Amino acid sequence: MVDSETTYGKLKKGLIELAEGYPDFMFFGKIEYFLGTREISIKVLAKDKIIELASKKEEKILNKKLSSEQLSLLRKGEKEKPDYWYRLTAKGVDLANSMINLEHSERMTGHSKKMLDYTKSIKTLTWVIVSVTILTFIIFIISLIN
């Protein structure tokens, strides 16, 4: 299953990245990196309580901890959209786990189908072997009678 090309797959990768820092770390740019969109994705995820946005006060503190290179990556200015600091919520962790479990379930379903096909093949082979054995026994009995 190639889910990295779908929005679902990209979101799953982003949420897994955020889950690695849950609950201690705040991030910026992770969701935007995976989904390729900025403000819309963040606002929708925040509205659905998948992520929690940092307050302005927290943003100032977090920005002070960044190196000059990291700080230059942040988009500042009146015309440009702001960068958002966020962390995954408990609901976001549940969503990430559900996405992982769904992928695992789909893989197991595929393996189960392969196993069922294998079982059918073995059943057919077993019937052929039993039939040939019975036929051989019958031929042996006929040869003894003659």
**Considering the domain boundaries, does residue 130 fall inside one?**
no
Quick one: pLDDT at residue 65? Answer: 75
The total of structural domains in the chain comes to 1
pLDDT tens profile 107-122: 888 888 888 889 999 9
Q: Is 18 within a domain? A: yes
| Grouped pLDDT means (10 residues each) for the chain, 146 residues | 67 84 74 76 86 81 74 54 76 89 87 88 94 94 88
Residue 83, domain extent: 7-118
| Residue 52 belongs to some domain of the structure | yes
Q: Are 15 and 95 in contact (CB under 8 A)?
A: yes
Question: Domain for residue 87, yes or no?
Answer: yes
Instruction: Return the CATH number at 88.
Output: 1.10.10
Query: What pLDDT is stored for residue 78 in this prediction?
Result: 38
Bridge partners for 88 per DSSP: 51
Sign of CA dihedral 50, 67, 55, 79: negative
Q: Which of 94, 73, 86 is nearest to 39 (CA)?
A: 86
